[in-house]
Amino acid sequence: MDLSRDRITIRQPDDFHVHLRDGDMLKRVVRSTADIFRRAVVMPNLSPPINSLQEAFSYRERILSSLGVGVNFTPLMTAYLTDDLSPNVLEDGYREEIFTAAKLYPLNSTTNSSRGVSDLRLIDSLFETMQRIDMPLLVHGESVEPDVDVFDREKVFIERNLVPLLKRYPNLRVVLEHITTREAVQFVESSPSRLAATITPHHLHINRNAMFLGGLRSDFYCLPVVKRETHRLALRKAATSGNPRFFLGTDSAPHSRKDKETSCGCAGIFNAPYALESYIEVFDQENALDKFEAFASKNGAAFYGLPFNSGSITLVREDQVVPNTLLGETTEPMDKGLVPFHAGETLHWSLVKND
């Protein structure tokens, strides 16, 4: 890492949690990720979900063929766990390096989770297999039982589901994805090193007030939903602490305007285009620029057992205004482009890409 007050060069980073979608949306958004990150862990919540080797293989091909020439980007594919998935799919997919990890969505917890897991005890054979072959389990950590307040879903998931799971499978490698609470931070900090967490840019920047600022602001609606300020502050401390158990996962999740601007809008924030500038702003504000490379480019790779990237990227302290919309209009009705996170705001760092 090369660091001065106004300029920082770090190893090329990876995004350990991203939604690249499929079809036209994939083509629109993929370069926002692939131009910056060397690798990304790609979420499998397509409709239908990715849960066979063939589907993962062909989805990876579609991603690679949508990149254009000269883009050096590796999508790391994940399997979508369902109640009836065969353990052989995970074992074969992991050994053949088609799957990097498997993703657990509790049933009906978020976008395209209607095939998610209805009861963790139903998939013990999957957890046993994953523990034996050391395949990482990626967790959407929310309890969606009707008695649970939406703002408590993560905390309750940890108590009701994650604690028992880790007791039963103490050697399972687990990433608690996109953590949003002080309780999650504390839980990761106090657990053995086989548990880690990703943190998104939006959960570091906004609290739940943002969703209601002057009206109902669907562009700040994501899942797990943003929480109160004390939680945001705990996340900022964790991300910038240098603790290797916390690392970058944007959870960039684009939806069309039609799907955001409706009476029942989709959850997801499209943050890929300015993700690094967004993260570094936090590290700068927290006086922790020296910890930025570990969070963005080392901790995740180390946890996954991947080599560090050899390329580098440079960011300079230079203002830039984020456009209100990006990536143009399509023929879809009401498609006025995609709204990036930080739309209309000034960010204080800018990216200079190295080779």
Q: Please return the burial class of 208, using the count of CB atoms within 10 Å of its CB with bins 0-12, 13-18 and 19+.
A: middle
84 part of the active site = no
- Are the C-beta atoms of residues 137 and 79 closer than 8 Å to each other? no
Give the binding range for ligand DOR (CB under 6 A) out of 62-70, 204-212, 230-238, 264-272.
264-272
* DSSP one-letter string for 216-228: --GGG--SSPP--
**Tokens standing for 217?**
């602001």
- Are the C-beta atoms of residues 296 and 276 closer than 8 Å to each other? yes
Residue in 222, 226, 234, 301 binding ligand DOR, rule: CB under 6 A: 222
Give the binding range for ligand DOR (CB under 6 A) out of 83-91, 144-152, 262-270, 299-307.
262-270
Considering only CA atoms, give the Rg of the chain.
19
Q: Please return the burial class of 97, using the count of CB atoms within 10 Å of its CB with bins 0-12, 13-18 and 19+.
A: exposed
111 binds, among Zn ion, ligand DOR, none (CB under 5 to 8 A by kind): ligand DOR
Shortest Å distance, C-beta 43 to Zn ion: 5
The overall longest dimension of the chain from CA atoms, in Å, is: 53
Residues 229-248 that bind ligand DOR (CB under 6 A): none
**Tokens standing for 251?**
């959870």
Q: What is the C-alpha to C-alpha distance for residues 207 and 71, in angstroms, rounded to an integer?
A: 35
Q: Residue 4 carries which side chain, given as an amino acid letter? A: S
Site string for ligand DOR, 27-46 (x = CB under 6 A): ------------------x-
- Nearer to ligand DOR (CB atom), residue 188 or residue 253: 253
Options 251, 259, 319, 335, the catalytic residue:
251
Give the binding range for ligand DOR (CB under 6 A) out of 59-67, 181-189, 263-271, 276-284.
263-271
Centre a 10 Å sphere on the Cβ of residue 157 and count the other Cβ atoms it contains: 26
Residue in 251, 277, 284, 293 binding Zn ion, rule: CB under 5 A: 251
- Nearer to ligand DOR (CB atom), residue 64 or residue 267: 267
**Tokens standing for 216?**
């109902």
Residue 142 is a binding residue for Zn ion (CB under 5 A): no
Strands (DSSP E) contained in the chain are 2-4, 7-11, 15-18, 39-42, 74-80, 99-104, 137-139, 174-176, 195-199, 246-248, 312-316, 320-321, 346-347, 350-353
Shortest Å distance, C-beta 197 to ligand DOR: 14
Q: What is the C-alpha to C-alpha distance for residues 190 and 74, in angstroms, rounded to an integer?
A: 32
Residues 135-164 that bind ligand DOR (CB under 6 A): 140
- Are the C-beta atoms of residues 137 and 92 closer than 8 Å to each other? no
268 binds, among ligand DOR, Zn ion, none (CB under 5 to 8 A by kind): ligand DOR
- Nearer to ligand DOR (CB atom), residue 106 or residue 136: 106
Give the binding range for Zn ion (CB under 5 A) out of 197-205, 246-254, 280-288, 294-302.
246-254
- Nearer to Zn ion (CB atom), residue 15 or residue 251: 251
Specify the pairing of strand 15-18 against strand 39-42.
Answer: parallel
**Number of residues assigned to the chain:** 355
Shortest Å distance, C-beta 190 to ligand DOR: 25
Shortest Å distance, C-beta 39 to Zn ion: 16
Site string for Zn ion, 194-233 (x = CB under 5 A): ----------------------------------------
Give the binding range for ligand DOR (CB under 6 A) out of 73-81, 160-168, 260-268, 343-351.
260-268
Residue in 52, 111, 240, 256 binding ligand DOR, rule: CB under 6 A: 111
- Nearer to Zn ion (CB atom), residue 14 or residue 251: 251
**Which residues are identified as catalytic?**
251
Residues forming contacts to ligand DOR in the complex (CB under 6 A) are 19, 45, 110-111, 140, 222-223, 253, 266-268
